[in-house]
Amino acid sequence: MNFTLQKHIFSAVFVLSFIFLPVLSFAGPKTDTVYLHNGDKITGEVKRFEYGILVFKTDGIGTLKIEFDRIKTFYSKQQFTIQLSNGLRFFGSIDTSGTAGYVNIQSGSFRIPEPVSGIAEIFPVKRAFWKRLDGAIDFGYSYSKASTISQFNFSGNVDYRVEKSFTQIRASSILTDQTDRERIRKQDYTASYQRFFKKRWFGVAFAGIQQNTELGTQFRSYGGFGVGYDVVHNNLNVLSGALGLLVSSERSKEDSLVNSLEGIMHWAYRIFRFNQPEIDITSYFNVYPSLTSLGRVRLEYEIKARIEIFNDFYFGLSFYDNFDSEPLDADAATNDWGVTTSIGYTW
């Protein structure tokens, strides 16, 4: 097999990510307290609350994942970004409540009682930069002697949260090699920034680079902005949509360069099942109608399932489908789809 510089770079990214994982896992103060309906009291550190699960780190028994309906109340003096199922957002700490199944959100001078079941997300906003980072990384490899086809796939994301915004860097790459054929490359690297507004509205800006040789795109750079809305955001699932504009510069196999203005319609959906085994399913669907080449439409769809194996390690299964009604190369395919498997880790 021909290991190119590009593949070595991806391998280095993977190795470096695991080197830096310990940096992201420094222990915090274990002063938070959870009270359960059965009378148990647990002291530790609130790591996050989402999809009805409180992730709680302790010194004695490791990291616990506590279902919301087992929680009587809990306390933490950390500062959090807090989103409720009704769309309201707060920045503050969590205090106990005398009413079973409730907490008090302490935001500035306001003290707001809220049922635990009504909380969609809680994420700590810590002072140290590295402690504000969350993410995931996964990779897979397959080889068939009969067909001499080998495939390497890699994906990952790093998330950064502050009081009123969310920044994410995502990377994905699928490299397919076959004897006597040119390597097929599908790659996407994106940075996005979301600014939260009142209720469920948010603004988004993004930029990235792409490559899909099956569709005749040797290189595409793009950037844009839009406005979005969380249609559903509770402790079971999230559905959001956004509309926007982007500018792109594309280079084909024949080295022709095309600059264009496109619209974008984006839908994203995520659902989580916290029963054993934990299953996390995410999907997105993007439509790009060209405004400079009327009639051209690009589509992107992906759905990915993560099944936890143990302690934040998971098995991943994903399906993707890309479509371009008018690829830059006349002999290129208009559709590209595939299925990948991977092993990954979240932190």
Judged by DSSP in three states, 311 sits in coil
From 97, 127, 157, the end of a domain falls on 127
DSSP sequence for 141-175: EEEETTTTEEEEEEEEEEEEE-SSEEEEEEEEEEE
Phi, psi of 24 (to 5 degrees): -80, -5
Of 95, 127, 159, the one marking the end of a domain is 127
The answer on pLDDT for 10 being more than 60 is: no
Task: State whether residue 125 is helix, strand or coil.
Answer: coil
Tokens standing for 318? 């994903």
CB atoms within 10 A of CB 182: 9
**pLDDT at 20 (0 to 100):** 44
Amino acid identity for residue 260 in this structure: S
Q: Are residues 334 and 232 in the same domain?
A: yes
Per-residue pLDDT tens digits for 297-318: 999 999 999 998 887 789 999 9
Range of the domain at 77: 27-127
Tell me the CA distances in angstroms from 68 to 35, 90, 111, 113, 234, one per residue in order.
Answer: 11, 19, 21, 16, 12
Considering the domain architecture, whether residues 197 and 336 belong to the same structural domain is answered as yes
41/97 same-domain check: yes
CA distances from 32 to 78, 166, 177 (A): 8, 25, 51
How many domains does the chain contain in total? 2
Confidence of residue 279 (pLDDT cuts 50, 70, 90): confident
pLDDT(95) > 70 = yes
Q: Do 82 and 39 belong together in one domain? A: yes
Any idea what the Cα angle at residue 301 is, between residues 123 and 273, rounded to 5°?
Answer: 45
